[in-house]
Amino acid sequence: RRIELADPGRSLFLTKPTAAVRHKGGIRFDVDSHEYRALSQWIAAGAQAPTAGDARLGRLEVLPQKALLKPGDEYQLLVRAHFTDGRIEDVTDWIRFSATNEAVAKVDSQGKVTVVGHGEGAVTAWYLSRIVIANVTAPYPNKLDPALLASAPRRNFIDDMVLAKLGDLKLPPSPKCSDEEFLRRASIDTIGTLPTAAEARAFLADTAPDKRDKLIDALLTRREYVDYWSYKWSDIMLISGRRIRPPAVKAFYDWIRNNVEKNTPWDEMVRQVVTAQGSSHENGATNFYALHQLPEEMTENVSQAFLSLSIGCARCHNHPMEKWTNDQYYAMANLFSRVRAKGWGGDARLGDGLRTLYVADSGELIQPATGKPQPPTPLDSEPIPFDAPQDRREVLARWLTSPDNPYFARAISNRVWANFFSVGLVEKVDDLRMSNPASNEALLSATAQYLVANKFDLKTLMRAILQSETYQRSSQPLAENRNESRFYSRFYPRRMMAEVLLDCIVQVTGVPEEFKRVADIDGATQDTKFYPPGTRALQLYDAAIVSPFLKTFGRNEREVACECARTNEPSIVQVLNLTNGGSINGKLADKKNKLTELLAADHSDLALLDEIYLGTLARFPTTKERTGLVQVLAETRPSEKRQAVEDIYWGILSSREFLFNH
């Protein structure tokens, strides 16, 4: 019934999609369409199956590949398929088109592009599991003097490539940020900690021309750097007591922290995770496999965490918008088919979570669609023989961390970039698919190459970013660059992440947060003594710690290996917490806080204000602030002075200037 060789027009292949026969999917094409003719001719010719000798698609070509236009312009894309037998065919009619940034350009189903706004966009063309990208540039309507960019200060390759892109888009860069802004910004982004009032005073008083470089080097060696980046990598590797027992959680975190402290190159750190074996208490990296115990889970999480690729859709069928096929998915997953664990039945949730991870000599993962295993193969690589004796994960690790891997260096470079610039070169940062192009492809490639050239030393990349004029731009927009948010003409402010914000409030007030309860695997909470008084939020190695503040402000709960699990989006609950809740008010009212110490020191009102502003905003109060607040304090009765100072602190701690890194 599906195919009627003698009467192609009666085939369900044709009658259902044309709605001649009732079909839940609706009309998919008309009787006079290209699709109908192609299928009917194939059926009439005997519905021949593919053969090994058939030509295959070699590559796709889209024309024009780049277009420089203005809003209101329209043009037609042409897509050509180059086959392995030398044929070149116009396949535009068969292409699935989509626009990556519809604020700049839209595309219809026939490949007609309409430019609607300023900036850069891209159109993806999908055919036979292949994708090709057409780029659209619509410069902003600014009169940009070329001399402005030519004379702009440059520190390294980052500035060269950003300025080139700004020139293409006619975007002027904002000026350099102040020392106050740089000190606070770099401290929050690098170590997740505010500079103290003493540190701010010393930095602002320093007249050395290289003081910013000295600050960068100092930040990269701080103990807080280890806290901050251990926490960031714990997010990626999903360390949580909701999934493994406390001793295993501690072992996994300690493994990450030791590597961050030693500045282990990223490729080596990933190799250790991927090839981990042994006791879950002695080799913390093995707990990566306690979190992901099925070969399918292992391959999806390795791909997401270390390549920023989401290949889960290919688990059931060929990926609808990427090149990954169902065969490739199961070939990759078969690399993990021999990973085994013993101890507590292999269940990481039982007892003390002690498991021993090992690799068996046999075992294959069966692909459900075929009933057979796929040859174990890293994505886009060569297969391993079924009877190869070595641990298949070693082959995977070599491919994964290879400088030639088109995803690995780009993925971690983009993650580090987004940490410092608020916006990744690819957004979202863990969505590094071909149909989601970078805002500056040349810069992303150069950043990845720089990391490879420096043997995956992340501190070296961080130093280059921090030293760049691009990073050191003001967050104050110009009239000409106010509406752009992807090309780094200025620094983009963002609210501090939940853990950093809580630690900053604690630092300013001097009242530590207490972390006394933890959620277990079943969701129930229980007391914990793992975190003594004075533990910072960034020193928590378990996402299962109960903290209403961290939950309210969008911490990563570490359930999935996706950056989307963390949110910086504002909410009414957050506003109420800061204005009326105990997070700020309770700490300001505590009689053992820093405010009490400041008042006891008997500072003058001017000196008191300086200490408050330096310790919160890393700057001195402006003339207007100083004049107004000194008058308020002078008019306040001595018995009410503490309340007045509490109000000053409250006003700053609940302000956007404090809450946002800018």
Q: What is the pLDDT of residues 474-507, one digit of tens each?
A: 999 999 999 999 999 999 999 999 999 999 999 9
Exposure letters 127-154 (e unless 16+ CB within 10 A, then b): bebebbbbbbbbbbeeebeeeebeebee
CB 70 within 8 A of CB 115: yes
SS3 (DSSP) at 475? coil
What is the C-alpha separation between 400 and 307, in angstroms, rounded?
A: 8
Task: Report the pLDDT value the prediction gives residue 456, as an integer from 0 to 100.
Answer: 98
Task: Report the pLDDT value the prediction gives residue 567, as an integer from 0 to 100.
Answer: 85
Q: How far apart are the first and last CA of the chain?
A: 66
Calculate the alpha carbon distances from 194 to 46, 229, 287, 393, 475 in Å: 73, 16, 33, 42, 18
> Using 50, 70 and 90 to split pLDDT, how confident is the model at 348?
low
Choose among 422, 497, 513, 412: nearest CA to 455.
Answer: 412
**Within 10 A of 649 (CB to CB), how many other CB atoms are there?**
24
> Using 50, 70 and 90 to split pLDDT, how confident is the model at 349?
low
Give the whole-number percent of the chain exceeding pLDDT 90.
Answer: 84
Task: Report the pLDDT value the prediction gives residue 524, as an integer from 0 to 100.
Answer: 83
Task: Report the pLDDT value the prediction gives residue 345, as an integer from 0 to 100.
Answer: 57
Radius of gyration of the chain (CA): 29
Mean pLDDT for the stretch of residues 461-468: 98
Residue 373 phi, psi (nearest 5): -80, 150
Mean pLDDT for the stretch of residues 338-362: 81
**Digit-coded pLDDT (tens) for 406-422:** 999 999 999 999 999 99
Residue 549 has pLDDT above 70, yes or no: yes
Report how far Cα 309 is from the mean position of its chain's Cα atoms. 11
> Using 50, 70 and 90 to split pLDDT, how confident is the model at 454?
very high
What is the C-alpha separation between 491 and 340, in angstroms, rounded?
A: 48
Task: Report the pLDDT value the prediction gives residue 136, as an integer from 0 to 100.
Answer: 97
Mean pLDDT of the chain: 94
Query: Which residues, other chains included, contact 454 with Cβ-Cβ below 8 Å and sequence gap of 6+?
Result: 460, 461
**Within 10 A of 33 (CB to CB), how many other CB atoms are there?**
14
Residue 134 phi, psi (nearest 5): -115, 125
Mean pLDDT for the stretch of residues 234-246: 91
**Length in residues, the chain:** 662
**Digit-coded pLDDT (tens) for 193-202:** 999 999 999 9
What is the C-alpha separation between 88 and 92, in angstroms, rounded?
A: 12
Please state the pTM of the whole predicted model: 0.93
**Digit-coded pLDDT (tens) for 16-38:** 999 998 888 889 889 999 889 99
What is the C-alpha separation between 425 and 487, in angstroms, rounded?
A: 8
Query: Token match 């006394």: residue?
Result: 516
Task: Report the pLDDT value the prediction gives residue 346, as an integer from 0 to 100.
Answer: 61
Which tokens is 227 given? Answer: 């806290």
Helical residues (DSSP H) of 265-407, grouped into ranges: 266-274, 287-291, 295-307, 326-333, 392-400
Which tokens is 27 given? Answer: 């009309």
Choose among 146, 135, 184: nearest CA to 437.
Answer: 135
What is the C-alpha separation between 310 and 319, in angstroms, rounded?
A: 10
**Digit-coded pLDDT (tens) for 279-317:** 999 999 999 999 888 999 999 999 999 999 999 888 988
Residue 221 has pLDDT above 90, yes or no: yes
Mean pLDDT for the stretch of residues 11-16: 92
**Digit-coded pLDDT (tens) for 631-646:** 999 999 999 999 999 9
Mean pLDDT for the stretch of residues 364-372: 95
Task: Report the pLDDT value the prediction gives residue 593, as an integer from 0 to 100.
Answer: 95
- The residues with which 130 forms a beta bridge, in sequence order, are 127
Mean pLDDT for the stretch of residues 120-147: 94
Residue 351 has pLDDT above 80, yes or no: no
Give the whole-number percent of the chain exceeding pLDDT 70.
Answer: 99
Mean pLDDT for the stretch of residues 397-402: 97
| Strand order, beta sheet including 119-127 | 66-68, 130-138, 119-127, 96-99
Helical residues (DSSP H) of 322-440, grouped into ranges: 326-333, 392-400, 408-421
**Digit-coded pLDDT (tens) for 60-80:** 999 999 999 999 999 999 999
SS3 (DSSP) at 559? coil
- Which one is predicted more confidently, 438 or 570? 438
Calculate the alpha carbon distances from 178 to 181, 619, 662 in Å: 5, 10, 11
Helical residues (DSSP H) of 426-535, grouped into ranges: 441-453, 458-467, 498-509
Lowest mean pLDDT among 148-157, 173-182, 473-482, 576-585: 576-585
Task: Report the pLDDT value the prediction gives residue 343, as an integer from 0 to 100.
Answer: 83
> Using 50, 70 and 90 to split pLDDT, how confident is the model at 350?
low
Whether the CA torsion 559, 564, 568, 570 is positive or negative: it is negative
Query: Which residues, other chains included, contact 37 with Cβ-Cβ below 8 Å and sequence gap of 6+?
Result: none
Query: Token match 């996706």: residue?
Result: 562
Mean pLDDT for the stretch of residues 398-411: 96
**Digit-coded pLDDT (tens) for 650-661:** 999 999 999 999
Query: Which residues, other chains included, contact 360 with Cβ-Cβ below 8 Å and sequence gap of 6+?
Result: 338, 339, 340
Task: Report the pLDDT value the prediction gives residue 514, as an integer from 0 to 100.
Answer: 93
Return the DSSP state at 545. Answer: B
Query: In one letter, which amino acid is 477?
Result: P
